[in-house]
Amino acid sequence: MTPSEITLHGQRFSYRIEGKGPLLVLLHGIAGSSATWNGVIPRLSQRHTVLAPDLLGHGESAKPVGDYSLGAYANAIRDLLEALGLSRATVVGHSLGGGVAMQFAYQFMERCERLVLVSSGGLGREVHPLLRAAALPGAEVVLPWLSRAGRKGIGKLVHVLGRVGLRASADLEETWRSFASLEEPEARRAFLHTVRGIIDVGGQRVSANDRLYLAAELPTLIVWGEKDPLIPVRHAREAHGRIAGSRLEIFPGAGHFPYHDDPERFAALLLDFVRATRPMPADSKRLGSRLRAGPRSNPLPAADSTR
């Protein structure tokens, strides 16, 4: 897919779009880009319009000095959809993108038909020490070395990342690419602003758990790797219990990037989920009524799928 560009608020916004049909929006993780979805887009675009943006501060999009909060990312996605003449979408978010997807569904419920969370942030405190370290003073000194190591070759980075628990898999490959992308000072600055907005030395400090009850009527799919080293699979099971009617799929043996470990299964699962569920109606009064009702005891969730 050839990236396209649009200018929003004076800043370059890069995105990829392909296919025809109901809209799927794919949101990548921190230090990633829309290219992370290349393995699944061809299958998905046979039945859907697939929009995969580079979040601001990432990929080919601009990396301005500014707001890198989840709310700002969600606003940017809303603006991109509006500028492209697109309306409602099934929003799929991986890692950081999962946090953005949940924020988007919360802020712009009338635009979100379904929610898909893939190894998502924002569902619990625990996160890998590698990301917690980015919240520490002095990370600005270490990141240039890691990015140069990533650019020159995977050898040094394999040694470093292997010592902190990342195995030779899609996890390691994607993490290597992420660190290599941070050689540009503007990208490092955006990365650090993003990390420090959602993570502190104790772990994730931004949580959607107290608002998950609002997704009770929003078709929600949760996908996780059984052996995710960055965000524990326990977060998936707990979120499944908090979102009434949600569907949980655990990929055996997979890590933080289940759509890389098994792209065929992931694409088939996503297509089946969209086909089998009805989009949430665009009702502006729905949020108000749910807020007034508040959290209620959810029924026991259906058994998750681990196969």
Closest CA to 199 of 59, 26, 70: 70
- From the list 34, 95, 119, 169, the catalytic residue is 95
Strands (E), the chain: 4-8, 11-18, 23-27, 49-53, 89-94, 112-118, 199-200, 203-204, 220-225, 247-251, 305-306
Beta-sheet pairing, 11-18 with 49-53? antiparallel
Q: Report the C-alpha gap between 307 and 304 in whole angstroms.
A: 10
Residue 199 and residue 124 in contact, taking contact as beta carbons nearer than 8 Å: no
- State the helix-helix crossing angle for 139-152 and 170-180, rounded to 10 degrees: 110
Is 200 among the catalytic positions?
A: no
End-to-end CA distance of the chain: 31
Q: Where do runs of H (alpha helix) occur along 108-208?
A: 129-133, 139-152, 154-163, 170-180, 185-198
- From the list 45, 128, 181, 228, the catalytic residue is 228
CA-CA-CA-CA dihedral for 30, 132, 249, 238, to nearest 10: -130
- From the list 28, 94, 128, 256, the catalytic residue is 256
Q: Which two tokens stand for residue 24?
A: 């799927």
Is 95 among the catalytic positions?
A: yes
Is 256 among the catalytic positions?
A: yes
Q: Report the C-alpha gap between 173 and 32 in whole angstroms.
A: 12
Residue 86, class by beta-carbon neighbours within 10 Å (0-12 exposed, 13-18 middle, 19+ buried)? middle
Among all residues, which ones are annotated catalytic? Answer: 95, 228, 256
